[in-house]
Amino acid sequence: MKFMLKLLAATFAAAVIAACATTPSAQPGADSGATRDEVRYRLGAGDELRLIVFDEEELSGEFMVGGAGTVALPLIGDVEAEGLTLAQFQEAVEQKLANGYLNDPRVSVEVLNYRPYFILGEVNTPGEYPYREGLTVLNAVATAEGFSYRADSKRVFIKRGGADGEREYQLTPETRIQPGDTIRIPERFF
């Protein structure tokens, strides 16, 4: 009897391992709501940043990316931020500071608060919500108090911040959103 149980357990374990080995692995960004180019975060209007200029306390602080896509900084004025990665923005600030203001400026930038996302369509409480890192569409739906009874829970339309139109995605637990996105949950048709 013990031999049969061990044989059964070994057979089950081998079947599980074989199933895992033959299941295709998910590609990063493959129908997940984010392409490889979108994975790197791009700054936009409404992002709140902490900027530290080392050894220059009066130039450091918390700043907002304005509606024009720029950040107003002491001494150097407006610096373009819209569409830049954090590294690109940091480099732009360093270049402006090095242009007649500081010798060898060292700057650090981090996002304190991301711009909000919007969810509409077939959810119970559509509206604007604060973004947090790693947010998925299902998290956003839960924040909006769930799907309405008419919701199509298999697909979603996402308009990326700055994009011209929305794009349809298969709704999976891995479907990610980004700050500034507009999420639309469509109505299902019977």
- 34-38, 114-118, 162-166: segment of lowest average pLDDT: 34-38
Residue at 149 is within a domain: yes
Residue at 26 is within a domain: no
Confidence of residue 189 (pLDDT cuts 50, 70, 90): confident
Residue at 57 is within a domain: yes
- Average pLDDT score over residue span 134-151: 95
Q: Cα–Cα distance between 121 and 130 in angstroms, integer?
A: 18
How many domains, the chain? 2
Question: Each residue of 34-46: b (16+ CB within 10 Å) or e?
Answer: beeeeeeebbbbb
Residue at 146 is within a domain: yes
pTM for the model stands at: 0.69
User: What are 56-91's pLDDT values in tens digits?
Assistant: 999 999 999 999 999 999 999 999 999 999 999 999
For residue 142, give every residue at least 6 positions away whose Cβ sits within 8 Å of its Cβ, in sequence order, or none.
Answer: none
Q: Cα–Cα distance between 170 and 113 in angstroms, integer?
A: 28
Domain that holds residue 104: 48-113
User: What are 99-116's pLDDT values in tens digits?
Assistant: 989 999 999 999 999 999
